[in-house]
């Protein structure tokens, strides 16, 4: 931990030097919520979000806050180790793999033309009770196994001991956005009716668990989180098919998965609370997780240390230092392309819009990892060989 702010209703504990002004203002809003529990956590990748900082962890007493989960509910990472020596791969093999992936997995706003196998969807839910899930269900069948846009990516990577790894970062597609917006509006209306003390401009409308709306949001959020995992798993299966078609005698180790942008009932400091992780991931003792870098930088397979002060959480990535619009305005396209080219990384940076996810728009991942040495320990260091952006 780097710093504690003790001037608010509850402390703000930070695993970074100085958060940006907007993120700090949002953290102060969190620290003064009447239902916030114990303290607020800011991970080393913290930057300003909508309502709550991305990279923030909030514990609450018997309420749930849609904007403290975010719009891409259940977004997360999957990684798989292979038995292939990355240094023995030829450039053409990498190129063929990336072409095969693009042929099978829709990117950005693209969806499959046909509905995917319904048995892959989350099971055990009564869809008639889930307003948004039921409404979006048929559309989601065409979104299953698609990457999406923004900072979502597929990477082929080389581990420190020379093996080829596959990594996927993606979320719940349109499900998460629709659920987040619907229940945030519900929360705002309820808060108006009951004269909530939470200022509307803070964008932290909440749902008490005494209400049906809170229970319905929790169920729809869980569905989105499970759908996001199903989405990543299907993509990973198809990526493995492509890799196995190019490389002989493939062996894939079990999938590693970790999610961010969700809330869950957990016990901390002998109290059962709702933990909101927005751009933060679980790091319980011994738990294996994934912390990706930005495009062209290292990623990490980590093991949680179960630090109670962070509510057993860690960062979900490097974290932005400039907004997407600022990146397009301020970064040089040729410079960013040449950085990746110099490292020998296959990429698809073509136009100014691709600068949104350039490595210069993000924090230094090595510094991010240094700041959270008391939260996780590094098990595997991964360097990118080829990247596909959403």
In angstroms, the CA 344 to CA 201 distance is: 46
Place of tokens 């993509």: 235
Identified catalytic residue from 47, 111, 260, 316? 316
Estimate to the nearest angstrom the gap between the alpha carbon of 85 and the chain centroid: 29
- H-only helix segments in the chain: 21-31, 91-104, 131-143, 174-193, 212-246, 324-330, 333-342, 365-371
- Residue 52, SS3? coil
Q: Which among 64, 372, 80 is positioned nearest to 243, based on CA atoms?
A: 80
* Catalytic residue list contains 276: no
Cα–Cα nearest to 315, from 31, 30, 13, 44: 44
Report d(CA 79, CA 168) in Å as an integer. Answer: 6
* Distance in angstroms (rounded) separating the CA atoms of residues 177 and 159: 34
CB atoms within 10 A of CB 147: 26
Q: DSSP character for 36? A: B
Per-position DSSP letters for 125-144, written without gaps between them: --GGG-HHHHHHHHHHHHHT
Q: How far apart, in whole angstroms, are the C-alpha atoms of residue 258 and residue 232? A: 11
The catalytic residue positions are: 316
């Amino acid at each position: 931990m780097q710093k504690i702010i003790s001037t608010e209703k509850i402390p703000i504990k930070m695993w970074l030097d100085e958060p940006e002004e907007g993120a700090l203002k949002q953290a102060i809003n969190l620290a003064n919520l009447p239902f916030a529990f114990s303290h607020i956590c800011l991970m080393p990748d913290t930057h300003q979000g909508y309502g709550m900082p991305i990279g923030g962890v909030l514990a609450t007493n018997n309420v749930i806050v849609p904007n403290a989960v975010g719009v891409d509910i259940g977004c997360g990472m999957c990684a798989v180790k292979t038995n292939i020596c990355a240094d023995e791969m030829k450039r053409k093999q990498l190129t063929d793999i990336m072409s095969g992936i693009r042929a099978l997995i829709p990117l950005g706003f693209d969806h499959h033309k046909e509905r995917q196998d319904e048995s892959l969807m989350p099971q055990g839910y009564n869809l008639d009770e889930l307003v948004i899930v039921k409404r979006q269900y048929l559309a989601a069948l065409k979104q299953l196994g698609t990457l999406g846009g923004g900072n979502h990516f597929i990477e082929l990577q080389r581990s420190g001991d020379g093996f080829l790894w596959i990594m996927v970062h993606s979320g719940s597609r349109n499900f998460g956005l629709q659920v987040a917006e619907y229940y945030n509006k519900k929360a705002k209306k309820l808060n108006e009716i009951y004269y909530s003390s939470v200022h509307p401009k803070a964008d932290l409308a909440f749902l008490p668990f005494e209400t049906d709306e809170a229970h319905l949001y929790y169920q729809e959020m869980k569905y989105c989180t499970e759908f996001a995992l199903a989405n990543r798993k299907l993509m990973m299966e198809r990526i493995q098919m492509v890799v196995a078609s190019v490389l002989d005698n493939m062996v894939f180790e079990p999938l590693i998965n970790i999610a961010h942008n969700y809330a869950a009932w957990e016990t901390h400091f002998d109290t059962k609370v709702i933990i909101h992780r927005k751009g933060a991931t679980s790091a319980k003792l011994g738990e294996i997780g994934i912390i990706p870098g930005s495009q062209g930088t290292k990623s990490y397979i980590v093991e949680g240390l179960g630090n109670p002060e962070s509510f057993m959480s860690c960062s979900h990535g490097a974290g932005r230092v400039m907004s997407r619009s600022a990146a397009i305005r301020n970064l040089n396209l040729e410079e960013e392309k040449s950085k990746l080219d110099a490292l020998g990384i296959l990429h698809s940076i073509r136009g100014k819009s691709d600068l949104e996810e350039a490595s210069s728009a993000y924090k230094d991942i090595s510094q991010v990892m240094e700041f959270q040495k008391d939260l996780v320990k590094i098990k595997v260091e991964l360097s990118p060989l080829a990247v596909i952006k959403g």
